[in-house]
A = this chain, B = another copy of it.
């Protein structure tokens, strides 16, 4: 069942980007339409509105496009997980597999305090490698992961990898 056919209709599929064989889901048309953009933000924030979220963690860089507005709506702090080398202060690091290649993510050591309730936000859940790295960083700082929210979900193992967590998505493929 697809609860958001109007959102899915705004996803542009691009073959062989960023590498041959990858079918990239371009979310920019959805973000550019104020109706679908606001509906996406309301949908994601709505899943967690009564969950007392202290910190919303946005994943570099497309996750930021959703996490900022979601954090604002949930009256939570906005935390960034960034690709290696971007954060200027004391930080922790996790390496992870990507759908295409490998990556490293970092978080400032004071971004989350022990016991804070954390929502991870990204645009896409595919293999779950990126989300898992963000989860581990937040957990290393003592955060409690309340959920993972993504705009769209691909059937590439992310749900299985993160089966102990509450994963919410608006669009499924």
Residue numbers of A with Cβ under 8 A of B are 12, 14, 17-18, 24, 26, 28-29, 31-34, 37-38, 41, 54-55, 58, 60-61, 64-69, 71-73, 75-80, 82, 85-89, 108, 110-111
Least Cβ–Cβ distance between A84 and chain B, in angstroms: 12
What are 13 A-B pairs with beta-carbon distances under 8 A? A12-B88, A18-B88, A28-B87, A29-B110, A31-B77, A34-B54, A64-B68, A65-B78, A65-B80, A66-B68, A68-B69, A69-B69, A69-B72
- B72, A108: Cβ atoms closer than 8 Å: no
For residue A14, which residue of chain B has the nearest CB? B88
A78 surroundings in chain B (CB, below 8 A) = 31-32, 37, 65
A41–B55 Cα distance when bound, in Å, is: 16
A146–B73 Cα distance when bound, in Å, is: 26
Known interface pairs A61-B61, A61-B86; 4 further A-B residue pairs with C-beta atoms within 8 A, sorted by A's residue number? A28-B79, A32-B79, A34-B77, A66-B68
- A65, B58: Cβ atoms closer than 8 Å: yes
A77–B69 Cα distance when bound, in Å, is: 13
A79 surroundings in chain B (CB, below 8 A) = 28, 31-32
A18–B34 Cα distance when bound, in Å, is: 35
- A71, B69: Cβ atoms closer than 8 Å: yes
Given A17-B88, A61-B64, A72 and B38 contact (CB-CB distance below 8 Å):
yes
